[in-house]
Amino acid sequence: MSSIYVPGKPNPYFPKHKFYGVKVYGSYQRIEDCKVHHYVGPAATVEKGIAAYVLSPEHLWATFQVEAEDLIRVNGSLEKHEEERNKLINAAYAKLWLADNRFQWAGLAAFASKQVGCTILHANETMTKNRRERDFLELSAPAPFPGAGAAVVQSGTEFGAAHMHEKLGFGNKHLFLDIYPLHRFFMERGWKEFNAHLEKRQNNKYPAYWNVDRPVLPFATPFREIREGFGLIEAGNLSKSVERLAQHEQVNILQKIMYNDDFTRRLLELNQYAVVTGIPTGDAEMIELTLSAQCKAKDGFTWPFSKDKYAKIWDVDQRMRFVLRAAEQFNKHLNGPQRPLIEESIRAIAAGGGVA
């Protein structure tokens, strides 16, 4: 049975928002807490008035941004700890969909982010393995003996894995900080206020964690795909909304902050070649999406990126074809007999499972 989030009503995934029932530009201070102040009135007369806090759109947006940041802190920090943070991000996406099934992009994002977590885990394991092998080779055969040359190879692989580990975590975190507050504003305040106040999110009144160079991507840029995507949710065209939000996710955010990096592109090309050809072996990771809580899934729930050894995941057109193909299959499963299995996996991710 489909669910739609109703603001103010009990929900297992989200508490009642602190500003529920408060109108934008309305006072959110209790009347008994308001204080009488003197002010200068017409003709320089001294008047009395009540000062109260007013809910601005900027303040409202800030509450959802703080919520997003607090959700993914690990030991109080938004830095490092990428494996642990990824599970928190996956769970948050899953809860958005479980609370409101109209958020089909978030449901798919729970699986996609989980898959990113699998790759982050693989990168970490590759770093550890190659560091261990490098240390052994350096100790057993110091320069200029052959073992030292082999250690250079291990060192290069270790460095590449470390770079991908950092980039994947960076993209995973910043995409979440961009798009989670958009969903929360929409679900709590509705389409009318979302549409009216989207631009107000980008302001300097409230601090936000955004560790991206401003020339590359300013915080909370109101791209047209955002308004189009949530407008389609309001209209009930869920599959089309996924397409627009995927365009925003992949082109407006991830392409700019991750895939435009030259070294990242080179590593992704080498990985794709190694996966398809098997040369070299051992450290490459298949790029795929599985609609399961685990990194690997049975047939019919897994979609590989490409079997072409020269395919480029960093190329936006090739990547979007992969993403939209997965979105189509996700929509098909949600509207078919496989839906219970999909729901079971999303619930497992929401509970902190997956990435194994």
Enter the tokens of residue 175: 């995409």
Tokens 């079997």, located at residue: 307
Classify residue 121: in a domain, yes or no: yes
Model confidence band, residue 34 (pLDDT cutoffs 50, 70, 90): low
Q: For 196, what's the count of Cα atoms within 13 Å in the CB-facing half-sphere? A: 10
pLDDT digits (tens, 9 = 90+) for 252-296: 999 999 999 999 999 999 888 888 887 665 667 888 899 989 887
Structural domain including 232 reads 56-350
Q: What 3-state class would DSSP assign to 286?
A: coil
Mean pLDDT, residues 123-142 taken together: 62
What is the pLDDT of the chain when averaged over all its residues? Answer: 87
Q: 183 and 106 in contact (C-beta within 8 Å)?
A: yes
The type of residue at 44 is A
φ, ψ dihedrals at 199, nearest 5°:
-65, -25
Is residue 104's pLDDT more than 90? Answer: yes
CA distances from 239 to 104, 289, 312 (A): 7, 18, 26
Q: Kindly report whether the peptide bond that precedes residue 215 is cis, defined as omega within 30 degrees of 0.
A: no
In a domain, 268, yes or no: yes
In a domain? residue 29: no
State pTM to two decimals.
0.89
CB within 8 A of 298, min separation 6: which ones?
Answer: 292
- CA gap 32, 53 in Å, rounded: 13
> Is 196 within a domain?
yes
The answer to whether position 269 is within a domain reads: yes
Query: For residue 10, which amino acid is it?
Result: P
What digits encode the pLDDT tens for the residues 154-166? Answer: 555 666 778 888 9
Q: Is 183 among the domain residues?
A: yes
- Domains identified in the chain, total number: 1
Residues 6+ apart with CB under 8 A from 137: 147, 148, 150, 151, 154
Q: What pLDDT shows up at residue 152?
A: 47
What is the secondary structure of 197-224 as a DSSP string?
A: HGGGGS-SSS-----S-TTT--TT---H
Q: Would residue 27 count as lying in a domain? A: no
Contact present, 225 and 189 (Cβ < 8 Å): no
